Structure 1
Amino acid sequence: MHRHLGKVVAGAAIAVTATAVMVGVTLPSDASGQEKGAAAGREGGPQGSTAEQSQSGRPQPAVVESAPAQGKKGTGRDPLTGDEMKRAEQLALTRGFRDSSENVTGGKGPQQLATDLAELSPEEAAEAAPPRRAEVSYYDYKGDSYVTKTVDLDSGKVVETDTQHGVQPPPTRDEAREAARLLIADKLGDGLKRDYKDATGRALTGPDQLTVTGFVYRVDEENAGPAALADCGTHRCIRLFTKVVNGQWIDTRQMVIDLSARTVHRLG
């Protein structure tokens, strides 16, 4: 097969070069400069909804939305049921939070990351019927913040909101797909597109043609990184492992996509 680097790269011995290279590799467990999250400061309590504006510009009375139905409930430390997850997510995404935040594509509303059963205090854990709370986590691209909302599933209330900066949890599938889309559209994605064409005979036009996995990339005291990526860690930056669907791996590990700034950079 023709190689755009002028040499065949076999097995896991990968030559790091200026373009993407098709290789047969096993997906590594760590692809980031530093892949970790550290606790930061806490802010405020639950965020309420904001008043709508009328055509005259005067605020209208806020509309209080009723809590979604309980649905099927778990007990004790049972995993959250589908109904509980849906209820928690609806309660956590208040109108004010939705209107003031942005997702990975720049659309209204935060990027949802995960919904998990909240931990109990030792006193609560000893109770015969401990409370059921869910933690719904988001990344708000508008403020580059990691937001966790704790929902009491019995009362239907958000009981705590934790906002942190500089914390970068693993990216979701949607974030990895958006990173791939940005890479494909950028000039630095030309090598990826050429190698995809070599592997399949078809043009690469979008992320649906690839299997992608994203890993956080951050710059800190342990990983200096190039000057162009100095904001990574504060910004949400990821590296990608890309694979032709049902086909070969294409090495794009030298590329870093800053999802916050929507820019693409090359390491080295």
Structure 2
Amino acid sequence: MRHLMHRHLGKAVAGAAVALTGTAAMVAITLPSDAGATGGTDPRSRPAAAAPGRDQGPPPPGVVEKAPAEGQRGRGRDPLTDDELRRAQDLALPPTRRGAAADVTGRPGPERLTTDLAELTPAETGLADPPRRALVSFYDYKSDSYLTKTVNLTTSKVESTDTQHGVQPPPSRAEAVEAARLLIAAPLGSGLRQDYRDATGRDLTGPDPLSVTGFVYRGRAEGDAPGALGDCGEHRCIRLFTKVKNGRWIDTRRFVIDLSARTVARLG
């Protein structure tokens, strides 16, 4: 039996039908067939008449300007350039130290999360050419720790390192994909696999056909966390928004994937 309910999924979508099948729910999202089309009964939607005596043919194609060349080093508060991003990550994590940590798949080296332009100190805000710094963050699955390093791109030195436990920043795309891989392979993933087959007629054997976005689950900090879910918060645990690429949403939010322990549990 299918039960229908309505949810708001964004300003562009007035509502979505959620059909519960198995242990997951597929959401079919459709927009009005005439959305964005010209015409209709509103006079404002009608194309303006051409001026008398003018050619009414199609307008000339637009001109796209080339993006300016990106230098190796930005200035002031410019966003980090691609070269600065690479340098910051290499300086923050030299190859000789990568074996001491592990990423989300267990390979040597911590999981890269973000690399952002760091704030200036009060004494540097008035300088014509202040130093460029990057704040680089990682998650180490070997020690379940959140690492942040401040890298001075002007001097090519790591100025500070901070290690915290029990801090869970938003997951990276790679972590969300790995969580989907674990869910698909788990016995609790049977509902997801069935819903995908119902939607596409194909078997789901890996995360590639899905669009997934992860959000952190902090265990007892969010309420009752029975059994192994009590480790979440110290462990890296996430839940997923899941969608068939170019297709339906499948509701997998009740499942918690513990990326540290590589296990799957269900809320409620």
TM-score range, shorter chain: 0.7 to 0.9
Instruction: Tell me what 2:196 maps to.
Output: 196
Alignment equivalent of 2:24, drawn from 3, 13, 20: 20
1:141-174 CA deviation, whole Å, 9 max, x = no partner?
0001110111111111111111111111111111
Deviation at 1:89, TM superposition (A): 0.9
Residue correspondence of structure 1 range 34-183 to structure 2 within 5 A: 72-183=72-183
Q: Give the C-alpha shift of residue 129 in structure 1.
A: 2.0
- Equivalent positions of 1:184-263 (< 5 A) are 184-263=184-263
Q: Deviations over 1:40-83 (max 9, x none)?
A: xxxxxxxxxxxxxxxxxxxxxxxxxxxxxxx7111111111111
Aligned partners of 2:255 and 2:267 also within 8 Å: yes
Q: Provide the C-alpha distance between the structure 1 equivalents of 2:152 and 2:103, rounded to a whole number of angstroms.
A: 25
Q: Alignment RMSD, CA only?
A: 1.9
Structure with more relative contact order (C-alpha pairs < 8 Å, separation 6 or more): 1
Name the SS for the 1:103 alignment partner: coil
Q: Name the SS of the counterpart of 1:230 in structure 2.
A: helix
The answer to whether the Cα contact below 8 Å between 1:102 and 1:109 also exists between their aligned partners in 2 is: yes
Tell me the number of residue pairs that the alignment of Structure 1 and Structure 2 aligns. Answer: 219
Question: If you compute each CA radius of gyration, which structure gives the higher value, 1 or 2?
Answer: 2
Note if contact 1:10-1:24 (Cα within 8 Å) is conserved in structure 2. no
Whole-angstrom CA distance in 1 between matches of 2:226 and 2:252: 17
1:7 to 2, 13, 20: 2
- Normalised by the length of structure 1, the TM-score is 0.77
CA distance in structure 1 between the partners assigned to 2:164 and 2:21 by the alignment: 36
1:163-196 CA-partner distances (Å, limit 9, x unpaired): 1111111111110000000000000000000010
Cα 1:14–1:202 shift into 2, 3 Å: closer
Identity %: 65
**CA separation of 1:25/1:255 partners in 2, compared to 1, >3 Å: closer, same or farther?**
farther
Letter in 1 for 2:23: T
Q: Look up the match of 1:29.
A: none
Give the Cα–Cα distance (whole angstroms) in 2 for the partners of residues 9 and 110 of structure 1: 43
Deviation at 1:223, TM superposition (A): 2.0
Displacement of 1:225: 2.1
Output the amino acid matched with 1:187.
P
Structure 2 letter corresponding to 1:97: R
Q: CA deviation at 1:212?
A: 0.5
What SS does structure 2 have at the residue aligned with 1:207? coil
CA 1:133/1:256 → structure 2, altered by over 3 Å: closer, same or farther? same
Contact persistence 2:2–2:20 (CA under 8 A) = no
Assess if the C-alpha contact under 8 Å between 2:22 and 2:194 holds in 1: no
Does the aligned pair in 2 maintain the 1:11–1:23 contact within 8 Å?
no
Q: CA deviation at 1:218?
A: 0.6
Residue 143 of structure 1 aligns to a residue in which SS? coil
SS in 2 for 1:233: coil
Residue 11 of structure 1 and its aligned partner are, at CA, apart by 3.7
Offset, 1:18:
6.5
Instruction: Tell me the amino acid that sits aligned with residue 7 of structure 1.
Output: R
| Runs (5+) with no aligned partner, structure 2 | 8-16, 31-70
Deviates more, 1:10-19 or 1:215-224: 10-19
